[in-house]
Structure 1
Amino acid sequence: MFSAQLPAPILFHPLKHHLGYIKAYIRQNCAAPEAEIKAALQTLGGSQLDLYIGPLSPPQVAQEVLQHLQENCLLQPLTYQRYLAASGTSYQVATLSDGTNWILRWGVVAGRHVHLHPARYARHTLRVKASVLKIAIAALVAAKRRGGNTVMDTAYINGVRAAWLGLPPVKDIRLSEVLLHLIALLEDTL
């Protein structure tokens, strides 16, 4: 799942990499069919990821990356591909106005050859497991469906893990500081 609202040739997965987008997704999709939300959560994959928690919106991130590429004559696919290959790592790094480093890779979606995501451990980012992000999103969507005031305790989280994600139970969510921190960030309760 990528944001089709962003200008081509940008390929960006904001449900996986952008806190502000995820907050909006939870608000706007809490009444969506459960199967649709589950399918969206599966697009987050199963490994670790870097979540941008900074002030730039997805359109601002895209615009700054496009400006960087345009200023360096790198917008054309072949030129961009050569630029990536020249690094010897198949990616390059762009620093945006808020000081955050973003990874530029080759995009495999037609017309979207500039694949970007936050750099590991960059400024304004949080490194999390995909499963933790899935649990946080599912827990908050499920809470909103129940009126929004569900207590995030172990029983509730285990119910969400089983029903929404097919994951086994955990002993005590208080041991998952990252999950609790991520839920607080998504709820704006920090």
Structure 2
Amino acid sequence: MTSAPHDPGIQDVPHPALLNTWKHHAGWVRSRIAAAVSNGSAGVAALPAEMAVVGSRLMDFYTGALSPADVAEFVFADLKGRALFAFDPLAKWLAERGEYALTELPDGSKWTIRLGPADGRYLHLHPGRWAPHTIRVQANTLRSAVMAHAHALVTGRAADDLEVVNEARKLYLGMLPVRELTGAGGLGAVIAAL
């Protein structure tokens, strides 16, 4: 899924990279939660609509320290060094590799490179599966973690408090409560990552 034109994260990623920051970047999501909270309850209430770009599937979520711009710039440098940065050589190279390739960044994270549209952000990036600084996350788990953090900050409580999580799920997402905060890619782990 590509980032929608109204996605605020697109401004944080240099052209021609396409990186859905809502789906794939914990640091960016943390900053977006803080910005929403700074606008009070109305800012927090606007988050669920923004998260439409998350979709409904399982995704890989980068939890490392590199910014979205850093990720893109490291990938750009790698591809430029191998004369693969322009669309045509990149398209040919990716076609020879089954339509995607992995590159490793200085922090040890691995990023998948795919081809986007030739007339726009053609360098589609997302974290590699089961790579360092990456967790696998369900879309509703990410939404719940985001809203738990935002609700906790607005109410002066802890995001990892089960009561806060369930209030946020009900109030902002219309979801049923959960019985526990699970780890290893579950809601507890995503809350901790944010």
- The TM-score normalised by the length of structure 2 is 0.84
* SS at structure 2 position matched to 1:173: coil
CA RMSD of aligned residues (A): 2.0
Relative to structure 1, is the Cα distance of residues 99 and 154 closer, same or farther in structure 2, using a 3 angstrom cutoff?
Answer: closer
Q: d(CA) in 2 for partners of 1:98 and 1:153?
A: 31
**Alignment partner of 1:10 out of 4, 17, 27:** 17
Alignment length, in residue pairs?
182
Give the match for residue 127 of structure 1.
136
In the alignment, structure 2 segments of 5+ residues that lack a partner are: 1-6
Report sequence identity in percent.
Answer: 34
Give the match for residue 183 of structure 1.
191
**Alignment partner of 1:142 out of 120, 128, 151:** 151
Q: d(CA) in 2 for partners of 1:34 and 1:69?
A: 39
* SS at structure 1 position matched to 2:143: helix
Quick check: 1:95–1:102 contact (8 Å CA) kept in 2?
yes
Give the match for residue 3 of structure 2.
none
In the alignment, structure 1 segments of 5+ residues that lack a partner are: none
* SS at structure 1 position matched to 2:132: coil
Q: d(CA) in 1 for partners of 2:43 and 2:65?
A: 30
* SS at structure 2 position matched to 1:102: strand
Quick check: 2:159–2:165 contact (8 Å CA) kept in 1?
no
- The TM-score normalised by the length of structure 1 is 0.86
Q: d(CA) in 2 for partners of 1:26 and 1:109?
A: 32
Using the TM superposition, give the Cα deviation of residue 150 of structure 1 relative to its aligned residue in structure 2, in angstroms.
Answer: 4.5
Relative to structure 1, is the Cα distance of residues 68 and 16 closer, same or farther in structure 2, using a 3 angstrom cutoff?
Answer: same
